[in-house]
Structure 1
Amino acid sequence: MRDTIEGVPDMIDTVPGPLAEPCRYGVYTGIELELQSPDAIPPAARLGLEPPRFCGQCGRRMVVQVRPDGWSARCSRHGTVDSAELGRR
């Protein structure tokens, strides 16, 4: 169990993950969702064949590792997400 300071929120639990809803940026383009056109998403991504390349929270490029059984992506600010967590193997 982690120690917390009374009255201060536990920051680890309040930081959203890279793909947490609501996303502000397109995970395949890095463009703000309000400015992104529907055809900006690559066809392979629309078919579910492409892992996300950008963080949905900050738009930063993520470090993506593609494996035979899935993928993992890491944002320097918002943490890591794995395809196994999302059921996208």
Structure 2
Amino acid sequence: MDASFCDRCGQLASLGRHEACARARELEPPRYCRICRRRMVVQVTPAGWSARCTEHGLMTATNA
């Protein structure tokens, strides 16, 4: 199964439109891994943000 999840609310990306999630993601980092739906460890700094999934690794503001 090749599922893709919303990185803000954690629901299947194919269910619903996620317009509110897209607007919120312009201002805040992701909270869920897009691949496995695990809650990520997020760190916000003045220089940007980083989010780490225990299974899929690190994502930063520059490689999102």
Q: Same fold (TM over 0.5)?
A: yes
Deviation string, structure 1 residues 2-39 (Cα, Å, up to 9, x no partner): xxxxxxxxxxxxxxxxxxxx970001111111223334
Q: Confirm or deny: 8 A CA contact 2:31 2:42 kept in the other structure.
A: yes
Instruction: Write the distance in 1 (CA, Å) between the matches of 2:49 and 2:36.
Output: 20
Q: Which has the higher strand share?
A: 2
Cα distance, 1:42 vs. partner?
6.3
Instruction: Write the distance in 2 (CA, Å) between the matches of 1:77 and 1:29.
Output: 18
Query: How many pairs are equivalent?
Result: 63
| % identical equivalent positions | 43
List alignment gaps of at least 5 residues for structure 2: none
List alignment gaps of at least 5 residues for structure 1: 1-21
TM-score (norm 2): 0.80
Among residues 7, 15, 31, which one is paired with 1:53 in the alignment?
31
Q: Which has the higher helix share?
A: 1
Deviation string, structure 1 residues 33-68 (Cα, Å, up to 9, x no partner): 1223334516432xx111111000001110000000
In terms of Rg, which structure is larger? Answer: 1
TM-score (norm 1): 0.60
Paired position in structure 1 for 2:59: 81
Q: Please list, as runs of the form range in 1=range in 2, the aligned pairs for 1:8-19 lying within 5 A after superposition.
A: none
Opposite residue 55 of structure 1, the aligned amino acid is C
The Cα RMSD (Å) is 2.2
